[in-house]
A and B are shown apart, each in its own frame.
Chain A
Amino acid sequence: MTARVGVITFPGSLDEDEAARAVRRAGGEPVALWHGQRDLRGVDAVILPGGFSYGDYLRCGAIARFSPVMAALATAARAGLPVLGICNGFQILCEAQLLPGALTRNAGLHFVSRDLRLRVESTRTAWTRAYSEGQEITIPLKSGEGAYAADTSTLAALEAGGQVVVRYLANPNGSVRDIAGVSNEAGNVVGLMPHPEYATDGLTGPGTDGLGFFASAVSALTEVAR
């Protein structure tokens, strides 16, 4: 049985098509979800893609967290549904308090679009099982509000609990402790600012290092289904 992975489209989502393509490249079946729906159509996992959900003239993701679909998502995420937030999706998950911390304006105040080296710090999450711990991967970043911030006790808890999922090798935006992505305690909810979906086709991206995020969830779900 093929894993069905929902991809939520908010009005200003931009990267939902590429997220769906990445799911397909990883062997899964993407399922389109609309922000105005109140249910998740029985999907096995959900991706919140990048973009500018509601224009994000306020804090990024601050309005999207109130979308009708988010209530169902929050319930399912707390019950263990694998959820991946990429860029704006990460911002929304933080605003919805499904992940700790917040994303703030890049140090330097410019939008940064760049291929980056990342180190995978945790492979126990639903979305990073396919990697090995310490593995270095190249994935594009493209964001203006990508500087991860959290208070000191939260950071301590993240580090102690192995919830720092990926770190920048060269910090592009002033993220605290070079954090590029984090997970919740259970490891089913992951958010990161870089875009693994744009590193799943060597022709249009820097390589295929990003495929592991999607393969991690798809293969685990497929195994469960067997």
Chain B
Amino acid sequence: MTAPETTATAPGQAPAPQDTVARAAGRPDQPQPFAELGLTEPEYQRIRDLLGRRPTDAELALYSVMWSEHCSYKSSKVHLRQFGEKAPRSDAMLAGIGANAGVVDIGHGYAVTFKIESHNHPSYVEPHQGAATGVGGIVRDILAMGARPVAVMDALRFGPADAPDTRRVLPGVVSGISFYGNCLGLPNIGGELAFDPCYAGNPLVNALCVGVMRHGDLKEAIAEGPGNQVILLGSRTGPDGIGGASVLASATFGEGAAAKRPSVQVGDPFLEKLLIECCLELYREDLITGIQDLGAAGVACATTELAAAGTGGMRVRLDEVPLRDSSLGPPEILMSESQERMMAVVTPANVARFLAVCARWGVQATVIGEVTGTGRLEMTWHGQTVVDIPPGTAADEGPVYQRPLARPDRQDDLIADDPARLARPDGGPALRGTLLRLLAAPGLADSTWVTEQYDRYVRGDTVLAMPEDGGLIRVDEESGLGVALATDGNGRYSLLDPYAGAQLALAEAYRNVAATGARPLAVTNCLNFGSPEDPGVMWQFAEAVRGLADGCLELGVPVTGGNVSFYNQTGQTAIQPTPVIGVLGVHDDVRRRLSIGFGTEGAPVVLLGRTSDELGGSAWAQVVHDHVGGRPPRVDLAAEQALAGLLADAAAAGLLDAAHDLSDGGLAVALAESCLRGGHGARITLPGDPFTFLFSESAARAVVAVRPGAEAEFTRLCAGRGVPAETIGAVGGTSLDVDGCFTVPLDELAGAHQGTLPAIFGPAIVSAASTSPAVTS
């Protein structure tokens, strides 16, 4: 191995030579590794045209990350515009797309902000840290809006549960979420767990965070007021997540200097907890004029976006950035994705108090520059200018692509492959066996093995958490005001029809929020797709976005923000298109929340909505026949709206004992879950073909238990809302009894439902103390 050239700046040593602006102007023809940094030839040429010279290494690094798909949304932008263009009128919005996350008015002077983001690729490479830093990143997003983060959720998708690699990935992801979220003190209140072979080489780890603030607390990511100071606070900058920058480093400094740099970031939840408390105190003391979190593209992104949104100029001394690795140079500092960092803009008069608050929390804070009126983003390295660009060119004027899209040829074959040809269970014993098989399937089984590793209680305001339909957090103890959240997605539906699939995911999350008794208000999304360079994938993406935008317009719930994750594929094989939709609702009084559990003997069980023979993409087809084909269930958003309104009204009037939305596995799985959750059986008489009523996945349906005595009033309410309602039995006994078909005792249901994940991933429950002898001294 050859020794690296000197790159560190040891005390008393001259700084390593840098590719300065002057040098770039003087050596216009020096070849630059733009392709290795992910830029195309036309993109590189565009940078040269914008600057009127070749970029310096630092500038090239900055543009390469700012113009990446992840930061610039260059392939998705033209489609995402629909969320704005088709946005329904809503008085609830305080801030929308463009800000770090949308802000929604929930009344009583409170506002909430929520967002979901992917951390798919890091979570495959290094599951524990990948998932942990995914939580950290979304929490900082919410913090940067001025809100206190109050809860998280995770939507997880893996390869087959029993595949050897899933046993590496899933436990690592869960331990990472557990490690980071629990240490931050954020209750984890729900999410999803699904399995499909398409995610084997590309799991989906989507993390959602919700935060609460008072109306006046909203913060903005802008750098205004020449002379104001730019302060970097939190973690020191290290060589995390800068795989790409090594290209530059090795080109500049010689081989070996930047070898073995980790491409996955490492999280420090304790520091993030301090950063949260520190920032909230800075907000309370009114010590900032602008703030932004550092996530993807780190300092490059924060400086360009703050500058572009503000007065337009900023001068940054990159050598002032506190480093964990003194060998880092400007390109690496700009690209580093070290976690637990924020950048604030502070008036000179407030700097001393700002630094004192940071010191109280033990958070390192360093003035690294100031706002200027030049319209330029200038960065120096030991006095030499290494970046001098108009910040808007990197932040807002990146490339925008209208990628070619084409409906895949196989789409017709998929739809033609109708599940009607599949053998259906015939007779009671076969139906009984089918129910038990579905309940035990990994994607439908009890997910306690996962959720028990998350703290759901912390902060003391968790009213509902998994396995309920939605999570519910109390915001105001006196009035009972709260927010409900749910995330949903179904890759099978979206594969068969991406337009309908996105709407079905939206409808399910909307319904889940309503099933807690809340009124849905706003939508966030995490759009997980394959390569945008594949016209078939791009068609799926365009259809899903169009479906979601149309659906939100019809339901009257605006999209407040979201995230696009492309390139989710293994080799040339893309994942199923998987739009994951998060819906937030407001609950006027959380004391009137609805649980899925059947809790009262004798309560009538009522099926709401219309059931048709709809099994395309269903859990039954997948689990029993390994089949995905046909058409997904029909979307009826007017019916969804009527059902949601009914559930909220009925909850507010105290008419219901329990409510559970029907989705994966249909009525059969929902009934079993409600029985197990509440510890009571049910006696059910189906109003038609048993197989269809038990396993069809028709949308816009729920099953409820009516409070005894409230039957007449509830029936009137259903009629008034135009929601079909049919009493199908009553809560009672110690088994699920479907008249004329089968009886399953609750403990047999529990055994089928609860055994699957511990059998695959190892028992989370340890045996009695006898296995752990006393420590002998």
Contacts and interface: CB of A to CB of B under 8 A. Distances in A.
Is this pair of chains taken from one and the same complex? yes
Interface of A: 11-12, 14-15, 17-18, 21, 51-52, 54-57, 106-108, 110-114, 140, 142, 144, 147, 149-153, 155, 170-178, 195, 197-198, 201, 203-205
A15 to B, nearest CB: 6
Nearest to B766: A107
Interface stretch (B452-460, B623-631, B635-643, B665-673): B452-460
Contacts of A204: 457, 460-463, 474
Contact of A57 (B270, B457, B775, B776): B270
B273 A15 contact: no
A12 B273 contact: yes
Contacts of B460: 17-18, 21, 197-198, 201, 204-205
A198 B185 CA distance: 14
Contacts of B765: 108, 172
A54 B271 CA distance: 9
Contacts of A110: 175, 178, 452-453, 764
A171 B774 CA distance: 14
B768 interface: yes
A174 B768 CA distance: 7
B135 to A, nearest CB: 14
Contacts of A107: 766, 771-772
A108 B764 CA distance: 6
17 contacts: A11-B362, A51-B185, A55-B183, A55-B271, A106-B766, A107-B766, A107-B771, A108-B765, A108-B766, A110-B764, A112-B452, A113-B454, A144-B182, A172-B765, A173-B766, A198-B460, A203-B474
B766 A171 contact: yes
B516 to A, nearest CB: 13
Contact of B769 (A21, A142, A178, A197): A178
Contact of B185 (A14, A177, A201): A14
A110 B769 CA distance: 17
Contacts of A172: 765-766
Contacts, number: 132
Interface in B343-362: 361-362
A147 B766 CA distance: 11
Contacts of B591: 203
Contacts of A11: 270, 273-274, 277, 361-362
A24 to B, nearest CB: 11
Nearest to B474: A204
A176 B774 contact: yes
Interface of B: 175, 178-179, 182-183, 185, 268-271, 273-274, 277, 361-362, 451-463, 474, 590-591, 762-769, 771-777
Given A176-B772, A197-B460, A203-B591, A52 B273 contact: yes
Contact of B270 (A17, A54, A106, A147): A54
A18 B270 contact: no
Contacts of A201: 460
A174 B769 contact: yes
A12 B456 CA distance: 17
A199 to B, nearest CB: 9
A213 to B, nearest CB: 15
A11 B706 CA distance: 47
Nearest to A114: B452
Contacts of A140: 457
Contacts of B269: 52, 55
A51 B184 CA distance: 9
A54 B763 CA distance: 30
B766 A174 contact: yes
A52 B183 CA distance: 6
A201 B764 CA distance: 28
Contacts of B452: 110-114
Nearest 10 pairs between A and B by C-beta? A55-B270, A14-B185, A151-B777, A18-B460, A174-B772, A107-B766, A198-B457, A108-B766, A111-B453, A142-B455
A153 B769 contact: no
B458 A142 contact: yes
Contact of B453 (A21, A112, A176): A112
A204 B461 CA distance: 6
B774 to A, nearest CB: 5
Contact of B459 (A18, A54, A155): A18
